[in-house]
Amino acid sequence: MPTISKLDYVGIPSQDAERARTFYGETLGLRTDDKQATEFWAGETCLSVWEPEKFGMPFAPQKNGHLALHVDDVAAARAELEAKGVE
């Protein structure tokens, strides 16, 4: 099997695209790209937050999932997120 060298795309279902846009775009500061889904960029990786109902599929919350982001200063990132009300 070929070696996987990087992750290009992550899709996250949402019921509230506006809330997702605020969190990923304004709170986390990720660059956005608007298409059918709301897309945010972290380096070369695309994080797409999409509303399944708009594509004719039921929304099903993902339980126990998480997203890990690499930052250069964890303490500073945590302090900034807490200052923005993220728990």
Could you tell me the residue ranges of all domains in the chain?
Answer: 9-83
Phi-psi label, residue 16: left if phi above 0, alpha if psi -120 to 50, beta otherwise: beta
CB 62 within 8 A of CB 13: yes
- pLDDT, position 7: 79
Helix (H, G, I), strand (E, B) or coil at 41: strand
**CATH architecture of the region 9-83:** Roll (3.10)
Q: Does the predicted TM-score (pTM) go above 0.75?
A: no
* HSE-CB for 74 with a 13 A CA cutoff: 3
Q: What is the mean pLDDT of residues 37-43?
A: 83
